[in-house]
Amino acid sequence: MASVADTAVDLDELCVNTIRTLAIDAVQRANSGHPGTPMGMAPTVYALWQRVLRFDPEDPIWPNRDRFVLSAGHASMLLYAILHLVGAKAVDPDYEVLGRPSVSLDDIRNFRQFGSRAAGHPEYRWTSGVETTTGPLGQGVATSVGMAIAGKWLAARYNRPGFDIFDYTVYSLCGDGCMMEGVSSEAASLAGHLRLDNLCWIYDDNHITIEGPTSIAFTEDVGARFAAYGWNVLRVGDATSVGAVEDALQAAKTTQDRPTLIIVASHIGYGSPHRQDTSAAHGEPLGEEEIRLTKRAYGWPEDAKFLVPDGVYDHFRQGIGKKGRGLRLAWEAKFKEYEKAHPRLADEVQRIQRRDLPDDWDKSVPVFPADAKGVAGRDSSAKVLNAVAQSIPWLIGGSADLSPSTKTRLTFDGAGDFQAGNYAGRNLHFGVREHAMGAVLNGLALSKLRPFGSGFLVFSDYGRGAVRLSALMEIPVIHIFTHDSIGVGEDGPTHQPIEHLASLRAIPHLIVLRPGDANETAEAWKVILRLKRQPVALILSRQALPTLDRTKYAPASGVAQGAYVLADAAPGTPEVILMATGSEVSLCVSAFEQLKSEGIRARVVSMPSWELFERQSQEYRDLVLPPSVQARVAVEQASTMGWARYTGTTGAILGMKTFGASAPLKVLQEEFGFTKDHVVTAAKQQLGQRS
């Protein structure tokens, strides 16, 4: 320690090398991880956090803080090291600032070990100061676009003369892998179109990936590509120069009408005598001998482990700590004045931060009259969405170029389109970019807005990576998917989802809701908007669904329990249970009426959400699906996978075991067995009768 502390070492260099050596030591002890990027990009991260970033370590969720997204999530030790050194405080799941450090030195010593806040890749809600979960390359930068959109929208709605309540900047550090993934290209194109000048990506241009030099697969001119997107492109030729990086960052802050890409020319494993420009340091520990040589090159004690020299903590406290605290306190004082001048708007801002809803937000949710002809799921949802959106100003979203089909456009006066020049608009146009849409929605939700995005269910595959991350982060994104079955008809098997419901149901913490009629759709929206920490996939039909007579059948409010008894032939235990979701619910009701007329005690169970049903008590679940009733029929125009959980091994499952076909809906229903007669036959077979 003496050889560092007792030598006249520049404090900037000392802090940079502390970041580097913490990363080296953590990866080595874990025998797992990526030390190269933290070594090469430590000066860049130091320059950003210490000299530019508006961030208060004492309050890492201050609403007007700048955001830093480590899109190159494999370089997680960069983020953990800086969060530790600046003294970032932890925030609990209820967003109350706690006293303990977000990342302790023990967490770093236990990098990638169970229970450590220094997980293998940055995880939102697990480690305070992590703005979004990253690791899947490209997701971080794409999510940062959503954060930047949120910043623009919040400023447009809430800023008033003399009150710049929201004016933060979003920074994201990415690498070659992020640049190769298609989601980053989708998001960058959208950001350029929207002229998001509060967005800055820092590109670690080190020419290395896991397999070797990028030249084996990636030789495009990235700067020219981003210039074509409409970005401001800056270059830093020396990644070791803190001053040069700071100059570029300051230039980005003064750039107007376009986002900025800073291309930083770095070397993987900078300072490692034998591993510069090799892929080895990218994806594996250096090894003890290499570490000693590297630390010698840094002027570091060769045998010291997890060393933070004297003066480093204090330097960060006097830098980002002092500056960030001052900025945050000034903002809080200004917000108190804002509350007096604009109490209604201030109340909205506070509700947004708590993820609370306005009072009486659901008073305008429509109730749909019984109608045998009915209404399509997408159409009933459109009516509900437009009703509640007028009561929830921060409910915003759009579609991947499909709003005329998904019916997700907000049509009331004042809704407007979010575009450069009109950042107050609430209709987002994502273009044909399903994956970027999902990531942008995540960024909006991480900014505490309530976002929705829509597309065809079959194309949920294109955005699945982002959908999965919304579930992993436990953020309340609303994923709306229409054209939910072979009911798409003539469009054929390319547009008819089969495996998609099962696929979405397989994602932990994602609620899948497939309502059976207009009133179930209305109730589904009530469930969705009350959620604070769970994303939802709302699955809607293109074709009309009969609106059931709720004076004859059970209230649609049963949707909140995930499954409920919709119809019973007689009091007591039924002989056979018919269960379904979506458009197949009315089919089961028709079969039920015929069985009832023949003296068979049937029950119809509507099951719009398996996930919500599984949350209910065992008593409730047994009440809906009595274990003693083994005769069961499940009906869903999708893969049969998973239904045996509810039918048992002897129950009948009427579903899809092949892809669909191109034909009119009625022909497909007949060909694939989705008819009343087929359901009746299956029920009687369950009872051992002949039809």
Higher pLDDT, 271 or 617: 617
| pTM of the predicted protein model | 0.95
Q: Which of 443, 557, 562, 459 is nearest to 504 (CA)?
A: 459
Q: Is the pLDDT of residue 5 over 70?
A: no
Q: How far apart are CA 283 and CA 33, in angstroms?
A: 6
Give the DSSP per-residue string, 535-578.
Answer: -EEEE--SSEEEE--TTTS--GGGGGGS-EEEEESSSS--SEEE
Q: Which amino acid is at 167?
A: D
Note the pLDDT tens digit of each residue in 134-163. 999 999 999 999 999 999 999 999 999 999
**Residue 600 pLDDT level (bands cut at 50, 70, 90):** very high
- β-strand pairing of 260-265 with 199-205: parallel
Q: Please, what is the angle between helix 377-389 and helix 518-530, to 10°?
A: 40
pLDDT number for residue 278: 44
CATH of 563-686, one of 3.40.50.720, 3.40.1310.30, 3.40.50.920, 3.40.1350.10: 3.40.50.920
Higher pLDDT, 268 or 259: 259
Q: Please, what is the angle between helix 182-194 and helix 139-158, to 10°?
A: 20
Q: Is the pLDDT of residue 287 over 80?
A: yes
Q: Would you say domain 2-326 falls under CATH 3.40.50.300? A: no
**Residue 569 pLDDT level (bands cut at 50, 70, 90):** confident
Note the pLDDT tens digit of each residue in 458-506. 999 999 999 999 999 999 999 999 999 999 989 999 999 999 999 999 9
From the candidates 131, 181, 186, 434, give the one annotated as an active-site residue: 434
In CATH, the architecture of 371-546 is 3-Layer(aba) Sandwich (3.40)
pLDDT number for residue 277: 42
Note the pLDDT tens digit of each residue in 200-240. 999 999 888 888 888 999 999 999 999 999 999 999 999 99
Asked whether 581 and 627 are in contact (CB, 8 A), the reply is: no
Q: Please, what is the angle between helix 139-158 and helix 464-473, to 10°?
A: 70
Q: Is the pLDDT of residue 446 over 50?
A: yes
3-state secondary structure of 363: coil
Q: Is the pLDDT of residue 1 over 60?
A: no
3-state secondary structure of 51: helix
pLDDT number for residue 478: 98
Point out which residues pair with 652 in neighbouring strands: 633
Element (H, E) at 646: helix 644-647
- β-strand pairing of 564-568 with 602-606: antiparallel
Give the mean model confidence (pLDDT) for residues 419-432: 97
pLDDT number for residue 474: 96
Q: Is the pLDDT of residue 276 over 70?
A: no
Q: Which of 198, 256, 225, 190 is nearest to 441 (CA)?
A: 190
pLDDT number for residue 271: 53
**Residue 279 pLDDT level (bands cut at 50, 70, 90):** very low
3-state secondary structure of 353: helix
Q: How far apart are CA 3 and CA 503, in angstroms?
A: 57
Phi, psi of 162 (to 5 degrees): 85, -5
Q: How far apart are CA 269 and CA 300, in angstroms?
A: 16
Q: Which of 33, 53, 43, 46 is nearest to 108 (CA)?
A: 33
Angle 263-265-271 from CA coordinates, rounded to 5°: 145
Compute the residue count for the chain: 691
Note the pLDDT tens digit of each residue in 365-406. 999 999 999 999 999 999 999 999 999 999 999 999 999 999
Q: How far apart are CA 586 and CA 636, in angstroms?
A: 11
Angle 166-169-172 from CA coordinates, rounded to 5°: 145
User: What does the domain layout of the chain look like in residue ranges?
Assistant: 2-326, 371-546, 563-686
Q: Which of 634, 623, 673 is nearest to 514 (CA)?
A: 634
Residue 165: exposure state from Cβ atoms within 10 A (0-12, 13-18, ≥19): buried
434 among known catalytic residues: yes
Give the mean model confidence (pLDDT) for residues 78-99: 87
**Residue 332 pLDDT level (bands cut at 50, 70, 90):** very high
Give the mean model confidence (pLDDT) for residues 67-90: 97
Give the mean model confidence (pLDDT) for residues 409-437: 97
pLDDT number for residue 281: 44
Q: Are both 2-326 and 563-686 of the same fold?
A: yes
Give the mean model confidence (pLDDT) for residues 527-556: 97
Q: How far apart are CA 169 and CA 198, in angstroms?
A: 5
Give the Cβ contact number of residue 583 at 10 Å: 31
pLDDT number for residue 8: 39
Q: How far apart are CA 550 and CA 527, in angstroms?
A: 19
Q: Is the pLDDT of residue 6 over 50?
A: no
CA distances (Å), origin 114, targets 30, 117, 124, 375, 675: 11, 9, 16, 51, 52
pLDDT number for residue 2: 38
Q: Is the pLDDT of residue 363 over 60?
A: yes
Q: How many percent of the chain have pLDDT more than 70?
A: 95
Q: Which of 522, 525, 513, 518 is nearest to 609 (CA)?
A: 513
Counting DSSP H helices and E strands in the chain, the numbers are 27, 22
Can you read off the two tokens belonging to residue 290?
Answer: 């290499």
Give the mean model confidence (pLDDT) for residues 304-310: 96
- β-strand pairing of 208-209 with 212-213: antiparallel
- Quote the mean pLDDT of the chain: 94
